[in-house]
């Protein structure tokens, strides 16, 4: 091989060339495959935000975390968690320094686009029984037709008792679906915009087609309700106080002959949630600054509600810990939040060669290049963006480099193509340093999404490095 010229050597030193994880480290590739097995089980167990919260809480308990008790005292190294209405979690490892000095925080959301049942969902039409739905988050409605669907949820009766259920995941379960019109009769529909090919009112789920034999009025509807009542001990009125979600049926699967990717429902944003929780488990030293992992809900509809990030349950958890250690007061809380550092962990749009025109290739997230950082998100003119400080990004680079973490930077598509955002801008209201970070995803917001196992593993490594060394 010819010796490189001085200019070639200088170019190697000065120019940045992103690398794929698998090209640089065969060992990491194998570690990523092993790490992904736990993640697939996590996805299968958590198809809804309630299920994710329950699974995460159990994982935390198994790892030695205790539910926070304001009557107890805690010392550096102790591990505690808070639960918010069974749908959001704050997990913390207490550090040696004053809380007022700030926290190291990672946050992800656990909700995903789906179909929700309406409060009065059950009806019959022409010998079919249906559930009426209201779609949740940014879905493309036409993608939900003819797909096997599962139903997960909880009924809470008027007396306060609850029953949880899941139908459609076990191979012996029935499944459900939204019907679609055959191509032979779809000439008119095929000329419509994609957003109107299936209307919102056509996303009703078929749940039955057999009548209750001794009924002459709505026999199929009555039969469906009879079967539901026999199985779960609920009445139709109990739907008024229920949370029922319709999601794609089936397990997470390896994708590709090389098994380098995972096809699953809910990567957005359970991939970051899992990486965070696993990173918390592997903190094997007493940290200087207190570390927090936050799993929140409702991001797909604006982080609203009592379990969304705007609800301040995270702020309340911080205040509780500070009060227990004699650091009460609004001013000290505000100082603690301002002095904190956070990674807002959410997925990024992965570059897709089939739709190359939507992306800026130089500033896209690529599957297999490691955890992704978005200095800013937003749409067009950076509208709705956090836009992280250069000084903070430099420190994040340092942490990733020292931790041997593969990482990349990206924007969300071309400047005028559209865009989106996540939670960073909400957390920035506290005055803390925060940047969006996550995993590249193909087919984001589709019923089935794609990630790279290497990126999942590098996210885990990156979050662990951050909470210990930021």
Q: Where are the chain's structural domains?
A: 10-112+265-469, 114-248
Measured torsion, CA atoms of residues 239, 244, 249, 251, in degrees rounded to the nearest 10: -140
Give domain 10-112+265-469's CATH superfamily. Zn peptidases (3.40.630.10)
8 A C-beta contact, residue 94 and residue 76: yes
8 A C-beta contact, residue 387 and residue 428: no
Query: Which residue has tokens 């807002």?
Result: 344
**10-112+265-469 shares its CATH topology with 114-248:** no
Under 8 Å CB-to-CB from 180, ≥6 apart: which residues?
145, 146, 198
Q: What DSSP state is assigned to residue 369?
A: S
Q: In Å, how far are 78, 301, 378 from 387, measured between CA atoms?
A: 34, 21, 9
- For 202-256, what is each residue's pLDDT tens digit? 999 999 999 998 777 899 999 999 999 999 999 999 999 999 999 999 999 999 9
Query: How do 433-438 and 341-345 pair as beta strands?
Result: parallel
The angle that helices 313-324 and 330-338 make with each other, rounded to 10 degrees, is 110
Q: How far apart are CA 292 and CA 94, in angstroms?
A: 9
Of the candidates 271, 276, 275, the residue with the CA atom closest to the CA atom of residue 92: 276
Tokens of 326: 């004699």
What pLDDT does 25 receive?
73
Tokens of 270: 């359970």
What pLDDT does 418 receive?
67
What pLDDT does 256 receive?
96
What pLDDT does 413 receive?
76
Q: Which mean pLDDT values do the consecutive 10-residue runs of the chain (470 residues) have?
A: 78 79 80 96 97 96 95 94 96 96 96 97 96 96 96 94 94 96 91 92 96 86 94 94 97 96 96 96 92 96 93 94 93 96 94 92 93 85 84 95 94 76 87 94 97 97 93
When the candidates are 3.40.309.10, 2.30.250.10, 2.30.110.10, 3.40.50.300, the CATH number that belongs to 114-248 is 2.30.250.10
Q: How far apart are CA 56 and CA 297, in angstroms?
A: 13
Query: Which residue has tokens 């249906």?
Result: 130
What pLDDT does 1 receive?
59
Q: How far apart are CA 462 and CA 469, in angstroms?
A: 10
8 A C-beta contact, residue 424 and residue 377: yes
Q: Please state the separation of Cα 118 from the chain's center in Å.
A: 23
Measured torsion, CA atoms of residues 19, 22, 27, 33, in degrees rounded to the nearest 10: 130
């Amino acid at each position: 091989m010819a010796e490189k010229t001085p200019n070639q050597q200088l170019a190697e030193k000065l120019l940045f060339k992103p690398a794929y994880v698998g090209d640089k480290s065969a060992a990491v590739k194998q570690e990523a495959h092993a790490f992904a097995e736990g993640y697939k089980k996590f996805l299968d167990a958590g198809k809804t935000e309630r299920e994710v919260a329950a699974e995460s809480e159990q994982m935390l308990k198994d790892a030695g975390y205790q539910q926070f008790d304001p009557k107890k005292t805690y010392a550096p190294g102790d591990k505690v968690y808070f639960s918010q209405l069974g749908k959001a979690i704050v997990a913390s490892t207490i550090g040696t320094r004053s809380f007022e000095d700030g926290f190291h925080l990672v946050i992800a959301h656990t909700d995903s686009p789906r179909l929700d049942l309406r409060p009065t969902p059950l009806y019959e039409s022409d010998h079919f029984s249906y559930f009426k739905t209201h779609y949740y988050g940014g879905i493309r409605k036409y993608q939900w037709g003819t797909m096997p669907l599962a139903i997960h949820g909880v009924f809470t009766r008027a007396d306060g008792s609850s029953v949880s259920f899941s139908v459609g995941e076990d191979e012996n379960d029935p499944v459900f679906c939204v019907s679609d019109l055959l191509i032979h009769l779809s000439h008119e529909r095929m000329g419509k915009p994609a957003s109107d090919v299936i209307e919102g009112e056509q996303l009703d789920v078929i749940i039955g087609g057999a009548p209750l034999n001794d009924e002459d009025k709505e026999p199929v509807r009555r039969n469906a309700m009879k079967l539901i009542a026999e199985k779960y001990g609920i009445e139709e009125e109990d739907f008024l106080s229920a949370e029922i979600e319709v999601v794609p049926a089936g397990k997470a699967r390896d994708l590709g002959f090389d098994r380098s990717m995972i096809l699953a429902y809910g990567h957005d944003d359970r991939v970051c949630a899992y990486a965070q929780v696993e990173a918390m488990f592997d903190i094997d030293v007493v940290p200087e600054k207190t570390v927090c992992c936050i799993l929140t809900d409702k991001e797909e509809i604006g982080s609203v509600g009592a379990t969304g990030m705007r609800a301040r349950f995270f702020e309340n958890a911080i205040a509780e810990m500070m009060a227990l250690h004699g650091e009460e007061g609004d001013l000290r809380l505000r100082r603690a939040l301002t002095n904190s550092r956070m990674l807002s962990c959410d997925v990024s749009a992965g570059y897709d060669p089939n739709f190359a025109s939507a992306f800026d290739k130089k500033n896209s997230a690529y599957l297999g290049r490691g955890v992704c950082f978005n200095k800013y998100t937003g749409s067009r003119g950076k509208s709705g963006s956090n836009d992280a400080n250069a000084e903070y990004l430099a420190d994040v680079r340092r942490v990733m480099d020292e931790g041997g973490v593969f990482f990349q930077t990206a924007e969300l598509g071309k400047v005028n193509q559209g865009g989106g955002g996540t939670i960073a801008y909400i957390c920035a209201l506290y005055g803390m340093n925060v940047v969006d970070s996550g995993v590249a995803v193909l087919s984001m917001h589709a019923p089935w999404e794609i990630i790279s196992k290497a990126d999942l593993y590098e996210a885990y490594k990156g979050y662990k490095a951050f909470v210990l060394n930021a």
